[in-house]
Structure 1
Amino acid sequence: MITNKIEYSAPCFGTDGIRGKFGSYPITEDFFSVVASAFAQFIKQDVKTPKFLIAKDTRESCDILEKALIAGLVSHGVEVHLVGVIPTPGASYLINKRFDAGIVITASHNQHTDNGLKFFNAKGQKLSPSEERRIQNYIDTKDNSSEAYDAPGTVIYAWKLRAKYYEYCKTTVSKGLWLAKVKVVIDCANGSGWQMLQQILKDLGATVIKIGCSPNGTNINDRVGSTHPNKLQTSVVQHKAHIGIALDGDADRVILIDRNGGIINGDGILYILSQANMHQDASIVSTKMSNIGFEKSLEALGIRLVRTDVGDKFVEEALQKNNWHLGGEPSGHIIIRKFGNTGDGIITALQVLQVMRKTKKSLIQLLENCCYFPQILNNLPLKRALLDKHFLKIAKVTMAVQDQLGDRGRILVRPSGTENLLRVMSECKDVALTESTQKDLLAKLSEVLG
C-alpha cells in the first residue's frame, strides 16, 4: 500500500470547484494528486473500475497538473482518458453517458498564473455542495492511500473525441441556418474555445474576424475575453459587424456586443432566448446578481425570474429540481437544458444567431423592450483571513447603507468564490443615486478592510 499522509486544514472547494494561484495551496502537484485520489475513492463507492475524462484549457501549468491528476487516479485503478484542450461544456457533453466522472483543469476567467479544477459526475453535471463535502472529507480524514492493484489504471489518449463536441454544437441549430453575409467578430480569450468557435461559424457561412485566438500558455484572459471586452467593442464598430462574441478562458461564459459596441450580458442573452421560447415554461432562473430592470422586463412577458446564490451550479440545481429549461448568470453562464448541463458559450452564441436570423432582427431590436436599472460592480482585494476577521463589520456597513437606500435600490456585497476579491454592487433607479451609493459603500468598506 502506498500512503501519502498529508494534512490540509483549509477547505479547498469554492464557488466553482477548486481555484487558486499555481504553486500555492491548493494548486500544487502534490495536492492535485491527493484530490484525484479522493475523487477516485468517492466514485469507486458505486463503480468498481471507473472511467474518467480529463480535459484542460490553454494555461502553461495545465500539463504538469494533468500529470499529477493522472498519478492520483491510476493509483486507484482508474481508466483515464485524456481529451486535451477543449471547452469545459465540451468536456461535460463528452462525460455524459460515456464516462463515470470527469475533471477539467481550468481557472476559467482568471489570469494565467491561476489554475483550478472543475468536477463532473457521470451525467456531465457539476458536483453538488454535498458531494464536494464528501470528497473534502476523504481529503481531511483519509490517508489518501491507494491499494495495490493487479491491474493498475491505464491512460488513453482520446483527442479524437473533441470532434464529437464540435459536431454536436452544429446540431443545436436548424439545418437550414446559413450565416452568409453575417459578419461576426469573436474574442476567445486565448482560451479553450479558440479553434471551435471560429470553425463552426465559418462552416455556417459567416465572415469571421478574430481576437484572442492565439494562445501561448500565458495570454489566456490577458486583456481579452468576456471579462475584458474593450477590444471586441472597438472591433465590432470598426468592422461594422452584426455581432461580437466573447468567451472566457474555458468557454463556459459568453457575452455579446451589438453593432454599436454595446455590451449584452447574461441578463440580455436570457431575455433574447426567452423570445424564442427556450424557457418552455413560466420561469427562468438566474442569480442574486441579475438586474431588477431585467426581472421586471421578464414579468411583462409573463415570465417569473427565480434567483439563486451566485454560481452556475446553483442555477443548474434549481433548473433540475423544478424541471425548468433556461437559466444563467449576468456573467454569461447560460444553461439551456435541452443542450447541456452546464454553461456553454459556443452553443449559447449559436442560439442567439439563430434567433437573429429567424426574426430578422438585430441585437438592439431584440432588446428594445428590455430595461435595466443602472448598476455598478466593483471588486476590492480581499484575503480570506481579512474576511473572517472583519465579517461582522462588513455586514454592519452593508446593512447600514441598504437601510439608508431603502426601496430606491439595492446593494449586494459578497466574497468571490473564485478569486481573493470582495464583490461590491449597487443598483438603483437612476444613475446619480447608483453612483453616490456605490461611492459611499466602497469608501466605508475600504475603511473597514484597511
Structure 2
Amino acid sequence: MGKRLFGTDGVRGQANSWPMTADMALRLGAAAGRYFRTDKHEHRVVIGKDTRRSGYMLEYALTAGFTSTGMDVFLLGPVPTPAIGYLTHSLRADVGVMISASHNPADDNGIKLFGPDGFKLSDEAESAIEGLLEEGVSLSAPGNIGRARRVEDARGRYVEYAKTTFPRRRRLGGLRVVVDCANGAAYRTAPEVLWELGAEVIALGVEPDGYNINLGCGSTRPEAAARRVLETRADLGICLDGDADRVVLIDEQGRVADGDQFMALIATRWAREGRLAGDTLVATVMSNLGLERHLAAQGIALKRTPVGDRQVVEAMRAGGHNLGGEQSGHIVMTDYATTGDGLIGALQFLAAMVETGQAASELAQVFEPVPQRLVNVRFAEGKTPLKTDIVQSAVAEAEAELGGDGRLLIRESGTEPLIRVMAEAVDARVLDRVMTRLVGAVEEAS
C-alpha cells in the first residue's frame, strides 16, 4: 500500500480515488472480516452510510469483502454515525461500519470502523487490519460465505433510543425548533425525534440528492439556519453535520454557540448535580482558553487531548470520565453514546431549557471566549511546511510574543492536505500580528 491507510478518523479520501475505491473497500472489508472472525461461530457486521452517492459503491464493495470471509452483513441504510455505535452493540455485532466523510464535501467519503462495544477501533486494531491487507486474506470455503440483508427498522430503533435520553415526563411542547440536517444521514431521524417529543419542527437540509450533503448548510455553514431562526422566531436552532456526530446551536437571537459553550453549560450543570465523573471535562487543544478559565472557577478540571473525537473518547475511557468533546461540536456523553452524537447533545441542551425555563441565549453564552483565530492553509503534495526553517522560526517568535496570555497550535490536518493555524491572545492586536506572520510563513512554505 505504501502509506498508512487509516487516518485520525478511519479511512478517508476522494471517492473513486485511492483509498476510497471499490477495490480497496472490498479488500478492507475482507481484512476486517478476517480480523474479527476468530472462530466458526456466527459473526455479524452492521453497515450504515450517509447520503453521498458514492456510499452505494462502497457499501456493496464492503459487503462483498465481509461476506467473502464468512461475516453476515446487516445493511442499515442512511443512519447517523452514533447510531452505528449503538446498533453494533444492540445487535450483538462483532464490528460496525459507517460510510461517511462527516462534514467534508460530497466528493469525499470515508469508512469508520467500530468494535463490538460500540466504540471506534483502537490504533492497534487498525494497524492489525492494515497488516492483514498487506499480507493478503484467506477467504472462506464456499459453504461458509456470509449472507447479507437489510434491516428495515434501523432508523426507528435509533429514534426510540434517542428519545430515552431526554428526561422522563418532560416534553418539548411550546418550543419551536429549527433543525438543519445538512442533507445528510439524520435528514429523517432528527426531525422525527424532535417532533415525537412535542416540538414544532422547522426542518432544513432534508432533501439529499447524493451531491448536496453539507453544501451551504449544516454545522459548518449555520448561516441559513440562523436566518430561519430569526424569520420564524424559533426558540432554538440545531445544525448537524453530514453524519450527525457533531452539533452547533443557534439561540433565539440568531447567535451561534460552538461546542465549547455547550460543554461549559453541561459540565457546570452535571458538576452541580454530582453527575460529572471526576469533576473533569475532556476537550482538545483547540478548545478556547476562556473555557479552561471558566471551568477552573467552578472547580472543574479540563483535560486536553490531541485533536480528534477518538482521542477525546480514549482519554475519557482511560480516566473514567463521562463528558468530553471538541469546539467543532463533537459532544461525547458516554452515559448515552459511544461517540459524538449531535442529536442527543441537542436534546440535553433542550432539556436544560425545559428544566430551567431559560431561553437559549441565557444558556448558550456561558463564558467570554478569549479572542481566537483559525486559518487553514492548503499545501501541495510532497510539501512538508511544518518542517521548514521559515515556519519553525515564525512559530518560535509567535510563542515568545504570546507568552502566558495566549496559546498557539499549528498542525497538519489528519483528513485533508491542510495546515491548521490556531492562535489565542487576550490582546486582539497581538493576535492579529501573530496570525499574519504565521499564516504568511506557512503559505510561503506550502
TM-score normalised per structure 1: 0.94
Residue in structure 1 matched with residue 346 of structure 2 by the alignment: 349
Q: Does 1:115 align with 2:109?
A: yes
Q: Does 1:138 align with 2:135?
A: no
Which residue type is aligned with residue 430 of structure 2?
L
Shift of 1:378: 1.3
Aligned residue pair count: 441
Shift of 1:402: 1.6
Distance in 2 between residues matched to 1:132 and 1:168, nearest whole Å: 29
Listed one character per residue, the Cα deviations across residues 341-374 of structure 1 (whole Å, up to 9, x for unaligned) are: 1000010000100011111112322245412101
Shift of 1:394: 3.6
Shift of 1:405: 2.5
Distance in 1 between residues matched to 2:40 and 2:417, nearest whole Å: 37
Instruction: Give the 3-state SS of the residue equivalent to 1:440 in structure 2.
Output: helix
Shift of 1:426: 1.3
Residue in structure 2 matched with residue 214 of structure 1 by the alignment: 207
Q: Does 1:225 align with 2:222?
A: no
Distance in 1 between residues matched to 2:375 and 2:433, nearest whole Å: 14
Instruction: Give the 3-state SS of the residue equivalent to 1:216 in structure 2.
Output: coil
Listed one character per residue, the Cα deviations across residues 75-113 of structure 1 (whole Å, up to 9, x for unaligned) are: 101100101110000111000152111111100000000
Residue in structure 1 matched with residue 150 of structure 2 by the alignment: 157
Residue in structure 2 matched with residue 126 of structure 1 by the alignment: 120
In 1, are the aligned partners of 2:385 and 2:391 still within 8 Å (CA)?
A: no
Q: Does 1:413 align with 2:410?
A: yes
In 2, are the aligned partners of 1:298 and 1:304 still within 8 Å (CA)?
A: yes
Q: Does 1:29 align with 2:26?
A: no
Please give the root-mean-square deviation of Cα atoms over the aligned residues, in Å.
1.6
Which residue type is aligned with residue 338 of structure 1?
D
Distance in 2 between residues matched to 1:392 and 1:302, nearest whole Å: 41
Which residue type is aligned with residue 252 of structure 1?
D
In 1, are the aligned partners of 2:385 and 2:445 still within 8 Å (CA)?
A: no
Shift of 1:40: 1.0
Match of residue 323, structure 1, among 320, 325, 335: 320
Distance in 2 between residues matched to 1:361 and 1:12, nearest whole Å: 47
The correspondence of residues 243-262 of structure 1 with structure 2, limited to 5 A, is 243-262=236-255
Q: Does 1:190 align with 2:183?
A: yes
Instruction: Give the 3-state SS of the residue equivalent to 1:119 in structure 2.
Output: strand
The correspondence of residues 355-370 of structure 1 with structure 2, limited to 5 A, is 355-370=352-367
Listed one character per residue, the Cα deviations across residues 3-32 of structure 1 (whole Å, up to 9, x for unaligned) are: xxxxx1111111100110011100000111
Cα distance change on mapping 1:368 and 1:226 into 2, 3 Å? closer
Distance in 1 between residues matched to 2:232 and 2:140, nearest whole Å: 60
In 2, are the aligned partners of 1:77 and 1:149 still within 8 Å (CA)?
A: no
Cα distance change on mapping 1:352 and 1:151 into 2, 3 Å? same
Q: Does 1:95 align with 2:88?
A: yes
Residue in structure 1 matched with residue 297 of structure 2 by the alignment: 300
Shift of 1:389: 8.5
The correspondence of residues 421-432 of structure 1 with structure 2, limited to 5 A, is 421-432=418-429
Q: Does 1:84 align with 2:77?
A: yes
Q: Does 1:284 align with 2:278?
A: no
Cα distance change on mapping 1:61 and 1:429 into 2, 3 Å? same
Q: Using the aligned pairs only, state the percent identity.
A: 38
Match of residue 168, structure 1, among 157, 161, 177: 161
Listed one character per residue, the Cα deviations across residues 253-277 of structure 1 (whole Å, up to 9, x for unaligned) are: 0010112221111111111112331
Which residue type is aligned with residue 51 of structure 1?
R
Residue in structure 2 matched with residue 3 of structure 1 by the alignment: none
Which residue type is aligned with residue 331 of structure 2?
I
Distance in 1 between residues matched to 2:10 and 2:75, nearest whole Å: 19
Structure 1 stretch 171-180 or stretch 120-129: which is displaced more?
A: 171-180
Match of residue 37, structure 2, among 31, 44, 47: 44
Cα distance change on mapping 1:287 and 1:46 into 2, 3 Å? farther
Shift of 1:132: 1.2
Which residue type is aligned with residue 424 of structure 1?
V
Residue in structure 2 matched with residue 400 of structure 1 by the alignment: 397
In 2, are the aligned partners of 1:390 and 1:448 still within 8 Å (CA)?
A: no
In 2, are the aligned partners of 1:22 and 1:115 still within 8 Å (CA)?
A: yes
In 1, are the aligned partners of 2:34 and 2:137 still within 8 Å (CA)?
A: no
Shift of 1:317: 0.7
Q: Does 1:435 align with 2:432?
A: yes
Shift of 1:175: 2.4
Instruction: Give the 3-state SS of the residue equivalent to 1:23 in structure 2.
Output: coil
Structure 1 stretch 399-408 or stretch 81-90: which is displaced more?
A: 399-408
Shift of 1:383: 4.3
Instruction: Give the 3-state SS of the residue equivalent to 2:269 in structure 1.
Output: coil
Distance in 1 between residues matched to 2:393 and 2:29, nearest whole Å: 40
Structure 1 stretch 335-344 or stretch 279-288: which is displaced more?
A: 279-288
In 1, are the aligned partners of 2:278 and 2:320 still within 8 Å (CA)?
A: no
TM-score normalised per structure 2: 0.95
Which residue type is aligned with residue 124 of structure 2?
S
Shift of 1:382: 2.5
Q: Does 1:241 align with 2:234?
A: yes
In 1, are the aligned partners of 2:159 and 2:189 still within 8 Å (CA)?
A: yes
Instruction: Give the 3-state SS of the residue equivalent to 1:410 in structure 2.
Output: strand
Residue in structure 2 matched with residue 373 of structure 1 by the alignment: 370
In 1, are the aligned partners of 2:262 and 2:364 still within 8 Å (CA)?
A: no
Distance in 2 between residues matched to 1:221 and 1:306, nearest whole Å: 31
Shift of 1:400: 2.9
Cα distance change on mapping 1:43 and 1:257 into 2, 3 Å? same
